[in-house]
Amino acid sequence: MCSARVLEPSYHAIKQRLMDGAWPWGFRLEASKIADMLSTSITPVRDSLHRLVGERMVSFAPGQGFHVPRMNETELRELFELNLILLLAATASSSQGSPVGSTDNACPDQVPKLFLKLASRSENGALVASISALNDRLHQFRRCDPLLFQDLDLELAHLMASAANVGSSLILRRLILRYHNRRRDEAAGFIRLMTSGMAS
C-alpha cells in the first residue's frame, strides 16, 4: 500500500474519469497505462482500482483484470429505488434545520449536492455516506437527463425550491418520489444512451 499523499490524487483522478464516462462500459483498465496517463507509479493506481472495486465503480475478475462495469435495466432501477428509499428516510428523520440554499441555476449538476444536503439534515453519518456513494455511481446516468426529460429545468427548479422551504416536507417527498419514479421508468432509455455512446 502507498501513502495517502500519493494514493488520493490517483484515486480521485480515476474516479472522476469513471464518473464522466471517459472509458466505455466493459473497457479494460490497465494499471500501467493509467499510471502513464497520470504520470505516476503503478502502485497508487492499482491500490486506487482495488478501492474503487469496493465502491462498485470498477469490476475485477481473477485472470481478467479490472474493467469498467456494465449495468442492466434491473440493476439501474434498483439503484434509483435505493436512492429513493434513503432520501425518503433522510427527509423523514430530518431535523428540519437550515434551508438547502439558493434555488438559482437549477441544473443536473446541482442534484447530487441537493440530495447530499438533504441527507445531512438527518444527522445520520451512515445515511449521508450511502447517498454520497450512490451520487457517484449515478453520476454517469444523470448526464443523460437532458436527453430524456424535456422539462428537466422545471423539475429541478421545483425540487430545489421545495428543499429550500423547510416547511414543505410533504411536497418535497412527493417531488423526490416523482423524480425517482420517472428515472426508474426510463431505465431502458438510460441504458440505450450509455451503450450507444450518446451520453459521452
Q: Which DSSP helix (H) or strand (E) runs through 109?
A: none
Same domain, yes or no: 101 and 21 = no
Q: What is the pLDDT along the chain (200 residues), one digit of tens a residue?
A: 555 667 789 999 999 999 999 999 999 999 999 999 999 999 999 999 999 999 999 999 999 999 999 999 999 999 999 999 999 999 887 655 445 555 445 566 789 999 999 999 888 999 999 999 999 999 999 999 999 999 999 999 999 888 887 667 889 999 999 999 999 999 999 999 999 876 66
CATH number at residue 15: 1.10.10.10
Last residue of a domain, one of 67, 96, 112: 67
Report the number of distinct structural domains present in the chain: 2
DSSP per position, 15-41:
HHHHHTT-S-TT-EE-HHHHHHHHTS-
SS3 181: helix
* Structural domain boundaries enclosing 16: 4-67
> pTM of the predicted model, to two decimals?
0.86
Q: Is the dihedral of CA 150, 179, 78, 28 positive or negative?
A: positive
Same domain, yes or no: 94 and 180 = yes
